[in-house]
Amino acid sequence: MKDLTYTEYLFLDCISTERPVKEATLYYVLIGKRTVSTMLQCRQYNLEAYFSVMPGMKPEVLKKGLERLRSQGLIAGDAGEGYLLTEAGRGEKAVFFGEHAHFALPYQMKFALVQGILRRRLLFLVQVLSEMLHKNKQYDPIERETKEQNWIKRLLAQQPEDKSAFAKRYGEEWYLYLSRLPGREAGLFALQFEGNRQLRRTTGQMAALFSLDEAEVRILLHQNWLRLYAALEAEPENFPALGRVMQLTLAENGLASASAETTMRYFLQGYGIEEIISMRGLKQSTIQDHLAESALIYAHFPEERFLDAEKLRYLHQLEERLERVDYREIQRAFPAINFFESRLIQIRSEVKAKNG
C-alpha cells in the first residue's frame, strides 16, 4: 500500500472511475454544506455516506490530499474539471478498505443533523438507568446541560411501567443490538457506555486497546450508530425503549435544517407558499429551497401539492422505472417549467431511484 494518511484514503474513496468530481463539490459534501445544490450533487455522486463527516476541515487539507493522490497516480484530472479514479487508484482503494473501515452507509446524510443529540441522549440514559438500578444518586452525569437532564427526567416520568422494568428493557434492547455486531465492533461500541462503576473510554483509549488507528475507531463507531438508527426505524417492535428516544428526538428536531422544518410545518398546517413567505419574511426562493431540502431528506413528500397532473404523471413514470433525470431532459419535456418544479422532479426521481 502507498504511504498515505487515513484521511487521504478516505478522499480516495470518494472518487469513482465513472464521473469526475470537482474539488469544490467534494469539499462541500465533506463539510456538509446544506444547500440544495450540494445535497443533490451528494446523492448524484453516491456520496451520502460522506456528507458532513469532516465538518471542520479546511479547504487546503483536501487540496493537498488530492494533489498527493494525483502525484501518486491514484487519481487523474484537476480541481476545476474534476477528478477520476485511475486503475491504480481502484486497486489501492480495494486493498486498503478490504482491511480497514470506511464510511459506507447512505443514511449519513439523512441523520447528519440529529445524530449528535440522539447519541448524547441514548448514552446519557444508559448512565442514568444504570445508577438508578444500583440506587446511587451521587454520580457525575456525563450530560452537563440542564435542558438535556430535564429531557431524560420527562422521558422517564412518561413511562407507563415502573422505572426498573423500563431500565431492564432498555438494557435488553442494547444487548440485542450489540449481539448483531462483529465481536470487536461490539466491544468497541460498549466502551462508550458509562454507568455504575464503569467509566467510558475515549476513542484514543479504544484505539490503544484494539491496536487500531484512532480514525478507524471513530469510523467504526459512527457506522454502528447509523446502523442502530436504521434498526430503530425498521424494527420498532424489537426496540421500543431505544426507539422511543429516537421518536421523541425526531419529533422535536426533524431531519432537515431548523428553518426548513419550520417552513414544512407551516405548509403541512395548510398555509400556501405566499402565506408562508409573508409569515416568515423570507424570499420565495428561500422558502422553495426549504421545501426542496425536505424533498431531498424525507422518503415521503407531498409533491402533488406543487406539480400539475401532467408533470406529476411524468414524475411517477420516472419513479416506476427508478430513473434519474437532469434538468435538460425535464426542460425538453416541459419547456415552460419553472425552476422549482424542475428541481423538485429532479430531486424526487433521484430519491426514488436510490430508495426504490
**For range 110-131, the mean pLDDT:** 98
CA-to-CA distance for 7 and 17, rounded, in angstroms? 20
Task: Return residue ranges of the chain for CATH 1.10.10.10.
Answer: 6-106
Confidence class for position 38, pLDDT limits 50, 70, 90: very high
- Could you report the per-residue pLDDT of 289-329, keeping only the tens digit for each? 999 999 999 999 999 999 999 999 999 999 999 998 989 99
Average pLDDT over residues 70-82: 95
DSSP code for 20: -
What pLDDT was estimated at residue 79?
87
Mean pLDDT over all residues of the chain?
96
Rounded Cα gap, residues 204 and 313, in angstroms? 54
Contact assessment for residue 298 and residue 233, using Cβ atoms and an 8 Å cutoff: no
For residue 257, CA distances in Å to 98, 293, 354 come to: 35, 8, 21
pLDDT reported for residue 356:
65
pTM, full prediction: 0.94
What would the pLDDT profile of 201-231 be if each residue is shown by its tens digit? 999 999 999 999 999 999 999 999 999 999 9
Q: What is the mean pLDDT of residues 58-66?
A: 98
First to last CA, the chain: 37
**Among residues 7, 15, 20, which one has the least CA distance to residue 89?**
15
Answer whether residue 56 shows pLDDT above 80: yes
**Coil, helix or strand for 82?**
strand
pLDDT 10s digits, 246-291: 999 999 999 999 999 999 999 999 999 999 999 999 999 999 999 9
- Contact indicator for 126, 160 with CB cutoff of 8 Å: no
Per-residue pLDDT of 140-175, as tens digits, reads 999 999 999 999 999 999 988 889 999 999 999 999
Q: Do residues 287 and 274 touch, judged by C-beta distance below 8 A?
A: no
DSSP H helical segments within the chain, as ranges? 6-13, 23-31, 36-44, 59-71, 87-97, 108-111, 115-133, 146-157, 163-179, 183-190, 203-210, 214-234, 240-253, 258-268, 273-280, 284-297, 309-320, 327-333, 339-355
From residue 193, alpha-carbon distances to 33, 142, 188, 197 in Å are 31, 10, 10, 11
Residue 160 pLDDT: 85
CA atoms of 221 and 198, how far apart (whole Å): 19
Percent of the chain's residues with pLDDT above 70: 99
* Contact present, 314 and 321 (Cβ < 8 Å): no
Band of residue 1 on the pLDDT scale cut at 50, 70, 90: low
- pLDDT of 353 reads 87
CATH no., domain 6-106: 1.10.10.10
How would DSSP label each residue in 28-72? HHHHT---HHHHHHHHHTT-GGGTTSSTT--HHHHHHHHHHHHHT
